[in-house]
Amino acid sequence: MSLAERLEGARVIVVCGSGGVGKTTVSAAIALALAGEGRRTAVVAVDPARRLATSLALPRDPGGRRELDLGGPVPLTAMVLDTKRTFDELVERHAGSAARRDRILSNRFYQRIADTLSGTHEYMAMERLHQLATEEDFEVIVIDTPPSRSALAFLDAPRRLTDFLGGRFIRWLLWPYRRAGRAGMRGASLGARMLSRTIGRIAGAELLEDTAEFLAAFEGMYEGFKRRAAEVLELLGRPDTRFVVVTAPEPASLEEGEHFVRRLRASGITLAGAVVNRWRRAPEAPEDPSLEASLAGGEPAGRAVAACLEVAARLRALEGRGRAAVEPFRRSLPDVPLTLVEERPTDVHDVEGLAGFAEQLLRRP
């Protein structure tokens, strides 16, 4: 069964994998193919390469949005994720009052974490997905996931963020720093005071005060925020949400891919399949070192053929390395379909290149 068939009926397609494996290219290629079939499709890119962005005329700035006319029956809607703006919108939605909204949006701690707290990018990508899925009329949404240390951070991010924002321990820790609560320091245990002071000394008391103030402002919207996070996870678990795991033909990448698949399955998520990108395939060729040696000393045509044989030998080694990397994955997850996509002579950076890439990616066997 081809990847195209396994993506049939999908409303949401999430493309994940470790950094540098070609996730953005895979997302763009899938979206392009779907739009080409006449489906109203949106693709959300995260940090697309400049040249890909330029040649597809993707929006230049985060938060931008553009209708791409690719000569098909319907245009493709392309967006670039803006983490900060998505977080701001989320605050606006749940703040309840203008005063609280402003208090949060102007807090220095918020302004810092909105971009740096680990998991924020991942979570905001999913939040954006939820907005698109519930508020707009697309038949399919393809979403790329941010490059991060743990590529599945978006699964943990809602829990992490709500844990963090609602965490009793961090409140306890920060309590002495709440300006209003300064006098209450006496009530804190010796351990809390000591730890608090120490962390304050390292991190700067000012930072902790901002944090405490932010948490106080956030208190009232915590429940709404948590409900929203649960809805996002529910969306990811729907049967018409399909995940594609992208890997490269290297042991570390495939091991990580295997780990992703297990985590996704444990979270009740529907997997469409795994892609091994940048696959190198060796041509069939006589394997005889003496043949190469005898040709290498002769006339130019013979030397050219010797060079061809040498390339074939190198490619055999690289293909072998790829097979050795894929083998454990196949063995431990025999039911996960793997699509091999060959490395192309040039980077994929235009519509034509993407179409060729999509053909290999989605082809029927």
Partner 1 sequence: MAPRAAHEPPDPSDPSRPPAPFDRRVLLVSGKGGTGKSTVAAALALAGARTGRRTLLVETEGRGGMARLLRVPALRFEEEPTPLGFHAMALTAHEALIEYLTRIMGLRGLGGPLRRARVTEMATEAIPGFRDMMIGGKLHELTGWREVHPDAGRRPYDLLVVDGPPTGQLIQLLRAPEAYRDLIRVGRAARQVVSIHRLFTDELRVVLVAIPEEMSVAETLEAVEGLDGMGAVYGPVLVNRVIPPVFPTGVGAAARRLSPADVAGVLGRAGHPVPEPVAAALLESALMEDGRRRAQRGRVARLARAGPIVELPLLATPSMGPGELEVLADTISAGRGEPAGEGSA
Interface pick for partner 1 out of 248, 272, 341, 358 (rule CB under 8 A): 248
Letter string b/e over residues 294-305, b meaning 16 or more CB atoms within 10 A of that residue's CB: ebeeeeeeeeeb
At its nearest, how many Å lie between partner 1 and the CB of residue 212? 12
Q: Which stretch binds partner 1 (CB under 8 A): 49-57, 180-188, 216-224, 357-365?
A: 49-57
* CA proximity to 273, closest of 21, 5, 3, 1: 3
Based on CB atoms, which residue is closest to partner 1, 75 or 251? 251
Helix axes 205-218, 190-203, angle to 10 degrees: 110
Interface pick for partner 1 out of 36, 251, 337, 356 (rule CB under 8 A): 251
Based on CB atoms, which residue is closest to partner 1, 117 or 133? 117
What tokens appear for 311 in the block?
A: 């390339």
At its nearest, how many Å lie between partner 1 and the CB of residue 243? 19
In 10 A of CB 322, how many CB atoms? 22
Based on CB atoms, which residue is closest to partner 1, 185 or 199? 199
At its nearest, how many Å lie between partner 1 and the CB of residue 263? 14
CA atoms within 13 A on the CB side of 129: 31
What is the size of the binding site for partner 1 (CB under 8 A)? 72
At its nearest, how many Å lie between partner 1 and the CB of residue 26? 13
At its nearest, how many Å lie between partner 1 and the CB of residue 39? 28
Give strand ranges (E) for the chain: 12-17, 41-45, 65-68, 76-80, 140-144, 241-247, 270-279, 338-342
> Within 65-104, which residues bind partner 1 (CB under 8 A)?
none
At its nearest, how many Å lie between partner 1 and the CB of residue 155? 16
Site string for partner 1, 338-357 (x = CB under 8 A): -------xxx-x--------
145 by DSSP, 3-state: which?
coil
Based on CB atoms, which residue is closest to partner 1, 168 or 335? 168
In 10 A of CB 244, how many CB atoms? 25
Phi-psi region of 9 (alpha: psi -120 to 50; beta: other; left: phi over 0): left
Note whether 258 and 190 are within 8 A (CB). no
What tokens appear for 335 in the block?
A: 């039911």
Measured CA angle at 144 (ends 8, 127), to 5 deg: 100
Interface pick for partner 1 out of 220, 262, 304, 359 (rule CB under 8 A): 304
At its nearest, how many Å lie between partner 1 and the CB of residue 57? 17
What tokens appear for 316 in the block?
A: 């055999």
Q: What's the start-to-end Cα distance of the chain, in Å?
A: 7
> Within 197-226, which residues bind partner 1 (CB under 8 A)?
198-199, 201-204, 206-207, 211
> Within 273-302, which residues bind partner 1 (CB under 8 A)?
282-286, 288, 291, 294-295, 300-302
Interface pick for partner 1 out of 127, 209, 213, 256 (rule CB under 8 A): 256
> Within 306-345, which residues bind partner 1 (CB under 8 A)?
307-309, 311-315, 317-318, 320-321, 324, 345
> Within 124-163, which residues bind partner 1 (CB under 8 A)?
147, 149
At its nearest, how many Å lie between partner 1 and the CB of residue 327? 12
Report the C-alpha gap between 211 and 216 in whole angstroms: 9
Based on CB atoms, which residue is closest to partner 1, 122 or 132? 122
Position 180, amino acid: A
Is 33 a binding residue for partner 1 by CB under 8 A? The answer is: no
Based on CB atoms, which residue is closest to partner 1, 4 or 225? 225
At its nearest, how many Å lie between partner 1 and the CB of residue 5? 29
Report the C-alpha gap between 361 and 29 in whole angstroms: 8
β partners of residue 122 = none
> Is beta strand 270-279 parallel, antiparallel or unpaired with respect to 241-247?
parallel
In 10 A of CB 7, how many CB atoms? 19
